[in-house]
Chains A and B, each alone.
Chain A
Amino acid sequence: MASVVVRDVRKSFGQSEVIHGVSIDIEDGEFVVLVGPSGCGKSTLLRMISGLESITSGELWIGERMVNMAPPKERDIAMVFQNYALYPHMTVFENMAFSMRLRKAPQEETDRRVTEAAAILGLTPLLARFPRQLSGGQRQRVAMGRAIVRDPQVFLFDEPLSNLDAKLRVQMRTEIKALHQRVGGTTIYVTHDQIEAMTMADKIVVMQGGHVEQIGAPLELYDNPRNVFVAGFIGSPAMNFLTGVAKRNGAGMTVVTDHGETVAAPETPGLEDGRPVVMGVRPEHLTLTGDAHGFAAQVVVTEPTGAEVQVSARHGQDEITAVFRERVALKPGETIRLSPDLAHAHLFDAATGLSLRA
């Protein structure tokens, strides 16, 4: 087990740079999730850490060693691939023992390690099977078993759950997290699914366009997004955004929306009048209100799930989603007034997208 330090790492394919100076500190034993939309560079970054892609510039440290130039086998890492990459002509046992076989490890040690890993993952009855004879979830487990047998410094996961169906994905998510708690080990996990990131990570790295947008604990990102991108990416249903301009109004801060309504906004020192802003409010931080507070919105759809009701509405050009714990009966087209919880609302600069929170 080891810490991983990524310092100002860049990657270019020919003339075009795809990773623009990324720095991440990963502590020993930490579960870090790299998350972002497709094409954000998260998989490329993971492959650079694994050694499958070269590093154009910057430093990569695993433990006490800078490994920029080291080939994959010397980095002491194990990787779980999206398509599992199981060797089709080897049994489950042989798949898991392959790295030991290449290392010419003694047979007893190989047997012991494979048996242990198989027991942890519930693969013991399947050891003699070939990958073709396994279900998707079982193949996924074999891929993890292959990594565990290695007993590596760092585990790398490249979108390991995206080939599974929704139900299995939730189940395997829990299994991987439980596995990490049991086996330990520094883990770097790539996904495009923010729910996976939120539920599994000790630390999330949100990436976009080859940049790191924000690094932090899941709830920290949820509560204090640094910019509009992170605010919109983390959380489901996504945060609502009202575009408008800031206006100080005696009693406090307000935002005059593009639709022409004045909505109370969180107090933000130093914010001058007339600055174009975006106000962000999470769906659960909107309440139905009868009085002049808040803003008007036209109901588009209501979706009751039993535990809560999700309402999609429209305020001018802005689409608004609200989630109510109480069972409200709203008709499509009806005009409602929604009031944001100011303690949990965010203001962002419309030009830079950065949070204006002090």
Chain B
Amino acid sequence: MADVPLSPTRSAAAKAGGASAWTRLQTNRNWLGLWFMLPAAGFLILFLAYPLGLGVWLSFTDSRIGRPGEFIGFENYAWLWGDDVFWLSVFNTLLYTTVASVLKFAIGLYLALLLNRHMRFKAIIRAVVLIPFIVPTVLSAVAFWWIFDTQFSIITWMLQGLGLIDHQINWLGDSTMARASVIFANIWRGVPFIAITLLAGLQTVPGSLYEAATIDGATRWQLFRFITYPLLTPIIAVVMTFSVLFTFTDFQLIWVLTRGGPFNATHLMATLSYQRAILGGNLGEGAAIATAMIPFLLAAIMFSWFGLQRRKWQSGGSDD
């Protein structure tokens, strides 16, 4: 506390010496700072730390809806360890996150590069790109539900109209097709966020760097490889961390489209946790599944944290 620069009031109080502890506390800047932090800290504790702690605690109990459970140690985890459905959901989640994130990044980067060029109606096109992002998830999921409907699918209808196929496609009824379909929907929804964020990053790269590199003899690919990409890496790290976290914890899209089916082929950890805890009533087991997501999320955050460390060229001034 003493290492804070002395304010005039405080040094005056210190000089007084004999002032009461209460007077000294009143003029203490750290004490004041604590009060200012309290509202924000209160919200975080109430709505973040407490539910998280409660969830972890529940995973060590056998609570069911309407019946507070008792501490049972790692029994829930031991049970999940032997549960094939749980392991399938882990596999699904990893597959879903990996495929969707990689494709979202590739398409998002491509779109950003495209939108960064001079073209007519640029502002309108940029606004249009954002639409999938601003439509509520459930609404877009319902739209996809129709697009992937076995009988009324517009994709099937178009393919038939073109004469490419003569049967119905069971988009959400076949394991592989269902996985591909939900991943497609997730990509459609996630690309705008990545594209617009990367576009913002692209616009911070000075045009003269491209001119200098062009004169230095760089081809278009080399401009991207040696100028655009390295200057974009900090923002790529941020945006991909967010993207991975959102995709890994995705719930709404899956729940509306498939509820985890067929045969649990699209069950993610989040949907399985909901199904077991809320629908099945086994709060403890559901909480254990949710808690099992934490190590994966922590790994993703650590990965980006190290990736996000200020690169040496970004920090200035030091003479090392």
Contact = CB atoms under 8 A, between A and B. Distances in A.
B275 to A, nearest CB: 47
Contacts of B317: 132-133
A102 B227 CA distance: 12
B208 interface: yes
Contacts of A71: 214
- The SS class assigned to the B binding surface is helix
B18 interface: no
A146 B213 CA distance: 11
Interface residues of A, number: 26
A73 B215 contact: yes
Contact of A98 (B226, B312, B319): B226
Interface centre among B215, B227, B231, B311, by most chain A C-beta atoms within 10 angstroms, is: B215
A279 interface: no
A78 B319 CA distance: 30
Interface stretch (B50-58, B79-87, B170-178, B216-224): B216-224
Contacts of A133: 316-319
A78 B215 contact: yes
Contacts of A132: 313-317
Contact of B215 (A77, A88, A90): A77
Interface residue tally of chain B, by bracket? 20 to 34
Contacts, number: 69
B214 A52 contact: yes
A89 B222 CA distance: 15
B215 A52 contact: yes
Interface in B165-213: 206, 208-209, 211-213
Nearest to A129: B319
Contacts of A302: none
Nearest to B216: A99
Contact of B212 (A79, A89, A103, A130): A79
A90 B209 CA distance: 12
Given A130-B316, A132-B317, 18 more contacts: A52-B214, A52-B215, A71-B214, A72-B215, A73-B215, A73-B216, A81-B211, A87-B209, A87-B213, A87-B226, A87-B227, A89-B230, A90-B313, A99-B217, A102-B222, A102-B226, A130-B312, A132-B314
Interface of A: 50-52, 71-73, 77-79, 81, 83, 85, 87-90, 98-99, 102-103, 130-133, 146, 150
